[in-house]
Amino acid sequence: MIRRALPALLAGLLGAGGAHAAQADHVHAGGAWIRLLPAGLPAGGYVVLRNDADRPVVLREASSPAYGHVMLHRSTSETGMARMNAVASLDIPAHGTVALAPGGYHLMLMEATQPVQAGQTVTIRLHFADGSTLDAGFLARPANATGPADGG
Ligand SMILES: [Cu+2]
């Protein structure tokens, strides 16, 4: 009996997951860029996320066809020593914005599937706690870049 019930249960769960994998209408990405580092070091992904909804949105993870592994990180320098930690999620307040920027929250882009060149636009998919996703184009910039465009 249990053996019969299990496939139906799994199908139900998968079906429900699929139904929720919708585009995140209320979240908008701006100024998205990647800082490339030499010698296969992980690249940093930065973006400003704006939430137009009346409820907070929770960023859970990110993925990209260009990278084998993407993590949500936060840089800190509490004791004068720069370090970074993995974070489980990032809240974007209702009608608020959160900036992923150098020195703070960022996406750690690891295991490039092929070398990413400056000037290239890389698609990164952001996954939210409600099951919705947002695809954003991140402009790859050289290691000395400080923002999404020259002088920025
Ligand atoms: Cu990092």
- Cα–ligand 1 centroid distance for 82 (angstroms): 11
- Cα–ligand 1 centroid distance for 54 (angstroms): 30
Mean pLDDT within 128-152? 90
- Cα–ligand 1 centroid distance for 19 (angstroms): 32
pTM: 0.83
Distance CA 85, CA 110 (A): 15
**Where do the structural domains in the chain lie, given as residue ranges?**
23-141
Identify the residue whose tokens are 């249960």: 9
13-43 tens-digit pLDDT = 444 444 456 888 899 999 999 999 988 899 9
Q: Are strands 83-86 and 67-76 parallel, antiparallel or unpaired?
A: antiparallel
Q: Which CATH architecture has domain 23-141?
A: Sandwich (2.60)
Determine the longest span between alpha carbons in the chain, in angstroms.
66
Identify the residue whose tokens are 């929250």: 105
- Cα–ligand 1 centroid distance for 103 (angstroms): 10
Mean pLDDT within 91-105? 96
Contact 134, 63 (CB under 8 A): no
AA letter at 19: A
Distance CA 32, CA 5 (A): 46
- Cα–ligand 1 centroid distance for 45 (angstroms): 9
* pLDDT, position 77: 86
- Cα–ligand 1 centroid distance for 147 (angstroms): 16
67-88 tens-digit pLDDT = 999 999 999 987 888 899 999 9
